[in-house]
C-alpha cells in the first residue's frame, strides 16, 4: 500500500553513475472490484544517481489530496550506466512513507524495498528496463 504520503528512493551500489527514469501508474479498485488506473507520472526523469552509495529521492506524493486514495502502483524503471560497469552492484528502488505529512520518513532500513536490479559488467552502458509493483 502506498500510504497517505510517500516518495521513492533510489540507491546505487555500482562504482559508476547510473541515470534513471521511472514511470508510475497508480491504481485502486472501484466499488465493483474493477481496477481503475491513474495517468502516468514520472517520479524520476533522467536522474543521475552517484556511484558507490549514491542516493536520490523523488518529490513526495500526497496520496488522497484530490479525494482519491490510490492503493498501489505499477512502476517501469529504465537505467543506464554512464561508463562501462567495472564491478557488479545493484540499483535498488525503495518506497518511503511518512505519517506526519512529510517531516519524517522511513529510510532504507525500514522502508519497503520494491525492486533491486543487479547490473553486470557485460551489460556495460546498455539501457536496462525492469518493473516494480507496490501493493
Of 123, 88, 98, nearest to 13 (Cα)? 88
**pLDDT, position 121:** 66
Residues 26/39, Cβ–Cβ less than 8 Å: no
**pLDDT, position 101:** 85
Residues of the chain falling short of pLDDT 50 = none
Instruction: List, in order, residues 6 or more apart from 11 with CB less than 8 Å away.
Output: 49, 53, 54, 55, 91, 92, 94, 108
Q: Residue written as cell 525500514?
A: 110
DSSP state of 39: P
DSSP state of 122: G
Of 106, 122, 107, 39, nearest to 73 (Cα)? 39
**Structural domain boundaries in the chain:** 5-134
**pLDDT, position 123:** 67
Amino acid at each position: 500500500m502506498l500510504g497517505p504520503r510517500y516518495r521513492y528512493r533510489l540507491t546505487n551500489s555500482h562504482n559508476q553513475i547510473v541515470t534513471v527514469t521511472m514511470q508510475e501508474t497508480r491504481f485502486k479498485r472501484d466499488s465493483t472490484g474493477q481496477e481503475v488506473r491513474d495517468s502516468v507520472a514520472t517520479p524520476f526523469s533522467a536522474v543521475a544517481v552517484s556511484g558507490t552509495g549514491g542516493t536520490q529521492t523523488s518529490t513526495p506524493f500526497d496520496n488522497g489530496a484530490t479525494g482519491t486514495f490510490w492503493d498501489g502502483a505499477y512502476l517501469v524503471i529504465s537505467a543506464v550506466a554512464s561508463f562501462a560497469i567495472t564491478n557488479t552492484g545493484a540499483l535498488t528502488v525503495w518506497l518511503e512513507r511518512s505519517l506526519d505529512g512529510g517531516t519524517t520518513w522511513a529510510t532504507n532500513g525500514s522502508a519497503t524495498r520494491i525492486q533491486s536490479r543487479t547490473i553486470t559488467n557485460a551489460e556495460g552502458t546498455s539501457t536496462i528496463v525492469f518493473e516494480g509493483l507496490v501493493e
